[in-house]
Amino acid sequence: MTPTRYAFIKASWHADIVDRALDGFYQLVPPEQVDVFDVPGAFEMPLLSRDLAATGRYAAVVAAAFVVDGGIYRHEFVAQAVVDGLMRAGMDTGVPVLSVSLTPHQYQETDHHKQIYRAHFVEKGREAAKAALTIGKTRAALAA
């Protein structure tokens, strides 16, 4: 039997922006089909994604984070490590692991930028839901 539940991981850093991805996801997937997990930041998402996917309970795992330049090290390093880890989690488990992990070229903590990225995360959450549903249908058709 194909699972009909979805795992949604969201990083707590910039939660006011990242949480909007879950809002977008809920526009296509009912909340009662989604288990939500919080992690401190993006770097923690790949391991949890792999662990959740390995349970066999989920049709897909979605991971959302906002990786911005924090000034200590290059945010591109973190973003690349996260996306590589998420891809590996999906490949290792055979469960789709989808990324809503965004790395803007320019971000400043202004109301204008926050508004732009909140709206963008809603759209990306909706796109992740659409991808999860589409992949599920395609894989079910292949199995039939």
Per DSSP, the chain holds a count of helices (H) and strands (E) of 4, 4
pLDDT confidence of residue 130: 98
**Residues of each annotated binding site:** 13, 42-44, 66-68, 99, 113
Residues in the chain: 144
Q: Which residues, 6 or more positions from 95, have their beta carbon under 8 angstroms from its beta carbon?
A: 53, 54, 56, 58, 59, 60, 61
Please say if 74 is a catalytic residue. yes
Tell me which DSSP letter residue 27 carries: T
**Residues of each annotated binding site for (2S)-2-hydroxy-3-oxobutyl phosphate:** 113
Cα gap 119→16, rounded to integer Å: 11
Confidence grade of residue 87 (pLDDT, cut at 50, 70, 90) = very high
Domain spans of the chain, in order of start = 4-141
Catalytic position from the list 50, 57, 74, 139: 74
| Residue 137 scores a pLDDT above 90 | yes
Domain 4-141 architecture: 3-Layer(aba) Sandwich (3.40)
In this prediction, residues 77-83 reach a mean pLDDT of 81
**Residues of each annotated binding site for 5-amino-6-(D-ribitylamino)uracil:** 13, 42-44, 66-68, 99
DSSP string, 108-131: -SSHHHHHHHHHHHHHHHHHHHHH
pTM of the model: 0.92
Paired with 100 in beta bridges are 64
